[in-house]
């Protein structure tokens, strides 16, 4: 059964990712001269840069197994959004029907516009070996493996910046590392005792995020040896990600149909705003609004616009996801069971209507939520 606290973490993490990308690719804050815009942007990124790490930690915590069904589902979803983006761009005359454009649609995983999808597919293929190895470890040996991976990722990767390993965290090595961390948190951490200190967790995350922003702002004026704030394996980013994940894991949120249904749409949100065609329209729209003469005079107005657009991407993605859910709902009518994707669209009698029902989707023990 999907846990609403984890689904809420998915929603918040994806909001962080969208806001971060809108801020970086939809504005000129990071290319502007030193000033309030750059300092504010770095401070915001300090809070939002944990989003990607949190998603991989979720996968690691609940575990995942390779299956062709999982891979085919991911392939079809990516195909769908590549096709939607191509049709919109072709309609506006921004792209031609070439073999390259068709190749993006036919091979959406290996030719994805985002590193995350490409690396996630590699992680899926490696999961049987990873899981088999981790299952044989007791706590002591597991901790030894985790410390070894930490040394390799942080010292040889982030600190020494060795490109052939994991210099910035945009590769399968980072995903494997976070997956192993998630598994350790699941198997060997006493969460009942940690729940009593939830307040300490959120305060620690805030302080680490502010620390990242301060150091990043200082690095724009002064050279800080070995500092790379934009790496996902940055020790501060990594620590903040784990703490933020732990905070949501400790939350006691009752089952919520709304939260769980929104959580299902997060992959669609990611694929839409990172689409090679739709993303350009989104970021161009953001740029035109943020630098509108009246709005450009106040950085507060600009930040509000960025937050509003990020929320708008959520709703737009949710609307685009509905046709896929309806197709799945027709299949659930044929099998006379509730829809596993969008419970609001399928009643207990198999008829489609916008009413919630008492169905609680169940997953096998150990499956990823």
Q: Which residue has the higher pLDDT, 150 or 316?
A: 150
At residue 355, the pLDDT reads: 33
Backbone angle region of 93, left / alpha / beta, with phi > 0 → left and psi within -120 to 50 → alpha: left
CA–CA distance, 120 with 252 (Å, rounded to integer): 29
* pLDDT confidence bin for 101, thresholds 50/70/90: very high
Output the pLDDT for position 358.
35
> What's residue 359's pLDDT?
34
The pLDDT assigned to 335 comes to: 42
Q: How far apart are CA 7 and CA 264, in angstroms?
A: 8
| pLDDT the model gives residue 330 | 52
pTM of this structure: 0.86
Structure confidence at residue 366 (pLDDT): 45
Beta-carbon contacts of residue 166 (< 8 Å; ≥ 6 apart):
152, 153, 156, 157, 158, 173, 174, 177, 233
pLDDT band at residue 299, thresholds of 50, 70 and 90? Answer: confident
Q: What does the pLDDT read at residue 32?
A: 66
- Given a cut of 60, whether residue 331 has pLDDT beyond it is no
Long-range contacts of 287-291 (CB under 8 A, 24+ apart): 287/26, 287/27, 287/28, 290/26, 290/27, 291/28
Residue 246 CB partners (closer than 8 Å, separation 6+): 185, 194, 201
Q: Is the dihedral of CA 233, 236, 239, 240 positive or negative?
A: negative
Give residue 126's pLDDT.
95
Q: What is the pLDDT of residue 329?
A: 55
Q: Which of 143-147, 185-189, 194-198, 243-247 has the lowest mean pLDDT?
A: 194-198
pLDDT for 33 equals: 64
Give the residue-averaged pLDDT of 24-28: 88
Tell me the percentage of the chain whose pLDDT exceeds 90.
56
How many helices and strands, by DSSP H and E, does the chain display? 16, 0
Structure tokens, 366? 């150990």
Per-residue confidence band for 353, with pLDDT thresholds at 50, 70 and 90 = very low
Spatial CB neighbours of 95, under 8 Å, sequence gap ≥ 6: 86, 89, 101, 277
Checking if the pLDDT of 17 tops 80, the result is yes
Per-residue confidence (pLDDT) for residue 48, from 0 to 100: 96
pLDDT at 34: 62
List pLDDT tens digits, range 104-151: 999 999 999 999 999 999 999 999 999 999 999 999 999 999 999 999
């Amino acid at each position: 059964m999907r846990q609403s606290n984890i689904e809420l973490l998915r929603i918040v993490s994806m909001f962080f990712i969208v806001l971060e990308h809108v801020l970086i690719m939809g504005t000129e804050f990071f290319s502007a001269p030193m000033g309030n815009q750059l300092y504010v942007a770095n401070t915001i990124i300090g809070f939002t840069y944990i989003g990607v790490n949190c998603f991989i930690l979720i996968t690691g915590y609940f575990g995942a197994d390779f299956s062709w069904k999982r891979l085919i589902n991911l392939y079809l979803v990516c195909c769908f959004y590549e096709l939607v983006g191509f049709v919109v761009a072709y309609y506006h005359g921004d792209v031609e029907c070439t073999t390259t454009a068709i190749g993006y649609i036919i091979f959406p995983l290996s030719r994805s516009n985002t590193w995350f999808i490409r690396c996630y597919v590699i992680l899926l293929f490696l999961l049987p070996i990873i899981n088999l190895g981790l299952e044989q470890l007791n706590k002591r040996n597991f901790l030894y493996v985790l410390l070894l991976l930490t040394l390799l990722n942080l010292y040889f990767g982030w600190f020494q910046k060795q490109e052939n390993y994991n210099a910035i965290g945009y590769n399968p090595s980072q995903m494997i590392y976070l997956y192993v961390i998630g598994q350790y948190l699941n198997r060997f951490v006493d969460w009942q005792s940690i729940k009593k200190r939830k307040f300490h967790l959120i305060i620690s995350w805030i302080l680490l995020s502010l620390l990242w922003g301060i150091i990043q702002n200082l690095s724009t004026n002064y050279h800080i040896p070995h500092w790379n704030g934009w790496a996902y394996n940055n020790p501060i980013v990594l620590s903040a990600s784990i703490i933020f994940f732990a905070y949501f894991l400790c939350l006691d949120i009752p089952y919520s149909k709304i939260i769980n249904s929104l959580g299902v749409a997060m992959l669609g949100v990611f694929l839409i705003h990172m689409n090679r065609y739709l993303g350009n329209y989104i970021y161009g729209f953001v740029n035109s609004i943020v630098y509108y003469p009246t709005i450009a005079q106040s950085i507060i107005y600009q930040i509000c616009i960025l937050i509003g657009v990020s929320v708008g991407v959520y709703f737009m993605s949710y609307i685009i996801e509905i046709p896929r859910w309806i197709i799945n709902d027709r299949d659930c009518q044929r099998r006379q069971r509730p829809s596993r994707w969008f419970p609001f669209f399928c009643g207990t009698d198999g008829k489609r209507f916008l009413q919630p029902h008492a169905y609680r989707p169940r997953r096998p023990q150990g499956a990823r939520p």
